[in-house]
Amino acid sequence: MHRLDTFPNNDLVAQYRQAFSSRAGQVVLAHMLYDLGAFIEISDAPEDVSLRNYGTRLIKIIGGGEVDENTMMEFTKRLMKQPLSKEIKEDS
């Protein structure tokens, strides 16, 4: 059995959530997920895919398992509330 084949039990999921529940923990988690390629396009290189898969696994662990429809809808609502990036005006 591969070490990532088993999903953490509820106690470990709660510990993941506690570790990332503070404001500082959330900043660190966001940084980690960005570095792992969770929020950006990545290449098809095996190492990039492996890192992104680990980021996806962290999201699943913190979310308590597979993402269901209600969770995805709440996530989508939060995305729509994100401020837009400042547009860069090109010099004419």
Task: Report the C-alpha gap between 6 and 25 in whole angstroms.
Answer: 25
Q: Which residue has the higher pLDDT, 81 or 26?
A: 26
Residues 6+ positions from 32 with CB-CB distance below 8 Å? 55, 58
pLDDT tens for 19-60 read: 999 999 999 999 999 999 988 889 999 999 999 999 988 988
Split at pLDDT 50, 70, 90, the class of 7 is: confident
Q: How many CB atoms lie within 10 A of CB 52?
A: 19
State the DSSP string of 34-66: HHTTSSS---S-HHHHHHHHHHHHHHHHHHTSS
Rounded average pLDDT over 74-90: 77
The pLDDT, as a whole number, for residue 1 is 40
Domain residue ranges of the chain, discontinuous segments joined by + = 10-63
Would the pLDDT of 92 be above 60? no
Q: Which residue has the higher pLDDT, 65 or 14?
A: 14
